């Protein structure tokens, strides 16, 4: 991505592929300048052409979400090989510079000779800290750390990407997935169904319990009145 979201600040982003960003006070446009060291895993530099290609391919051949997500972008064009400018429609969302910062950047030279919307079992080319090492369709995918990752010393990556290999396993049956978790076949399971917790873990002793405190909530009512109306009330 062009930027990385902060984990402990409200909608805050720091440059990842982008080394610098410029925008006016009215946020009507933003310029991203790419890191000169940014490379794809095949050694080819990441350029403004990749950013433009990614925006165009995602909004024309990607899932409908992207067309809606980036609907307020008016134009996008390269200023040079490493600078790209996004201009936004007048009177649109002031968070558009942050939204564009989340753009997934794809390698133009890799995808130009391939059908973007087609199903494939060929691992795609990336530029991140991990790449696909092996996979079993419908069962698992294993990622391996890229030892010469160009951005590993950036501040946004300090303390991250510490595992040499990460394996994700897929279960098409939820009951099988629950039993596999209980027997230690995988390490992390996120629960969103209270019924699952209440009915499937009676015989499962958790390593530790860490109850979360209740989160205070508030309800506000914002009404716009003139000063004269407020005085009357």
The confidence band for 11, taking pLDDT boundaries of 50, 70 and 90, is confident
The confidence band for 62, taking pLDDT boundaries of 50, 70 and 90, is very high
Summarised one tens digit per residue, pLDDT across range 188-202 is 888 888 888 788 887
Summarised one tens digit per residue, pLDDT across range 146-157 is 999 999 999 989
Q: Is 129 exposed, middle or buried (0-12, 13-18, 19+ CB in 10 A)?
A: middle
Q: 78 near 49, Cβ under 8 Å?
A: yes
Residue 113: the pLDDT is: 86
More confident residue, 222 or 102: 102
HSE of 218 in the Cβ direction (CA atoms, 13 Å)?
A: 3
| Owner of token pair 């009215």 | 26
**Domains in the chain, start-ordered, CATH in brackets?**
3-111 (3.90.76.10), 130-187 (no CATH)
Summarised one tens digit per residue, pLDDT across range 47-58 is 999 999 999 999
Query: CA 173: distance to chain centroid?
Result: 27
Residue 203 pLDDT greater than 80, yes or no: no
| Owner of token pair 């049956």 | 173
What is each CA distance from 211 to 95, 100, 214, in whole angstroms?
35, 37, 9
Instruction: Report residue 109 as tokens.
Output: 């030279």
Task: Tell me the percentage of the chain whose pLDDT exceeds 90.
Answer: 62
Residue 224: the pLDDT is: 65
- The DSSP line for the chain is --EEE-SSSTT-EEESSEEEEE--TT-SEEEEEE-TT-B-TTSPBP-HHHHHHHHHHHHHHS-HHHHHHTTTEEEEEESSSSEEEEEE-TT--TTHHHHHHTPPP--HHHHTTS-TTS---SPPP--SSEEEEEEETTTEEEEEE-TT-TTTTSGGGTT----SEEEEE--SSHHHHHHHHHTTSSS------HHHHHHH-TT---S---PPPPPP----------HHHHHH-
Task: Tell me the percentage of the chain whose pLDDT exceeds 70.
Answer: 88
b (16+ CB within 10 A) / e for 208-217: eeeeeeeeee
> What end-to-end distance do the CA atoms of the chain give, in Å?
52
Residue 216 pLDDT greater than 70, yes or no: no
Residue 159 pLDDT greater than 80, yes or no: yes
Q: Give dist(CA 187, CA 180) in Å, integer.
A: 10
Q: Give dist(CA 173, CA 170) in Å, integer.
A: 9
Residue 91: the pLDDT is: 83
């Amino acid at each position: 991505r062009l930027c990385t979201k902060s984990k402990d600040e409200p909608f805050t982003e720091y440059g990842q592929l982008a080394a610098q960003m410029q925008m006016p006070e009215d946020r009507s446009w933003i310029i991203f300048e790419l890191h000169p060291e940014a490379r794809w895993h095949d050694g080819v530099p990441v350029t403004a052409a990749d950013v433009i290609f990614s925006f165009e391919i995602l909004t024309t051949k990607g899932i409908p979400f992207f067309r809606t997500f980036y609907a307020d972008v008016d134009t996008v064009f390269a200023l040079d090989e490493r600078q790209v400018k996004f201009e936004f429609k007048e009177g649109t969302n002031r968070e558009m510079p942050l939204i564009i910062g989340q753009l997934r950047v794809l390698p133009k030279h890799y995808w130009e000779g391939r059908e973007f919307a087609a199903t494939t079992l060929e691992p795609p080319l990336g530029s991140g800290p991990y790449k696909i090492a092996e996979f079993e369709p419908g069962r698992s995918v294993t990622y391996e750390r890229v030892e010469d990752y160009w951005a590993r010393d950036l501040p946004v990556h300090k303390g991250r990407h510490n595992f040499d290999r990460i394996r994700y396993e897929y279960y098409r049956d939820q009951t099988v997935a629950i039993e596999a978790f209980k027997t230690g076949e995988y390490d992390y399971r996120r629960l969103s169904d209270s019924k699952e917790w209440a009915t499937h873990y009676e015989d499962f002793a958790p390593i530790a319990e860490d109850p979360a405190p209740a989160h205070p909530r508030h309800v506000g009512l914002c009404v716009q009145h003139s000063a004269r109306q407020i005085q009357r009330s």
